[in-house]
Structure 1
Amino acid sequence: MRLLDPDHPFFRPAWRRALIVAAPFGWAGVEWSHDNRLWAYVFAAIGGYLAWQLFLVWRPKDGD
């Protein structure tokens, strides 16, 4: 079972993929600033997973 389908048409625009990746990293920064280290690590891990799937695994289809 895949948690995320990087081939879905929703993820075609690069700005959308970048925003989706940046959001959990931003929230990790908020949690870190409030000394909630565990949640900061959780959200940073989510951001890392999204970056892996949406930028390293994602490949444009023909015609994109």
Structure 2
Amino acid sequence: MQLIDPNHPAYQRLWVRIAIVAVCFGWAGVELVTGDPFWAVLAGGAGAYSFYMLFLTFKPKPPVAAAAAEADAAEESDAEETSAEKPSKDGQAE
């Protein structure tokens, strides 16, 4: 199970990924300054994990693949609509 799905559309923008990592490491810095190393390590670990997931393993899906998937779904729904409109044996639509 992944905590961060790098293929989620919310992570497509670079500034969002930078902000997430910066907030995690910034919070780790705040915890270090205030003298709480346990929470600093946890926030730093979250920052390291988010950096790994959002920058090192980030491979965005091309928009063409998403458009093709939408086109396939549209064709399937059109096929279902036309099959529902076919008349039955007694001549009436089902």
Q: What TM-score bracket applies, with the shorter chain setting the length?
A: over 0.9
- Runs of at least 4 residues of structure 1 off by over 3 A? none
Mind listing any 5+ residue stretches in structure 2 that lack a counterpart?
A: 65-94
Alpha-carbon separation, structure 1, partners of 2:43 and 2:53: 15
How many residue pairs end up in the alignment?
64
Q: Which has the larger radius of gyration?
A: 2
Listed one character per residue, the Cα deviations across residues 17-39 of structure 1 (whole Å, up to 9, x for unaligned) are: 00011101000000000110111
Indicate whether 1:5 and 2:5 are aligned. yes
Partner of 1:30: 30
Matches within 5 A, 1:1-64: 1-63=1-63
In 2, Cα distance between the equivalents of 1:61 and 1:3? 19
Where does the alignment leave 5 or more consecutive residues of structure 1 unmatched? none
TM-score when normalising by structure 1:
0.93
Aligned sequence identity (%)? 42
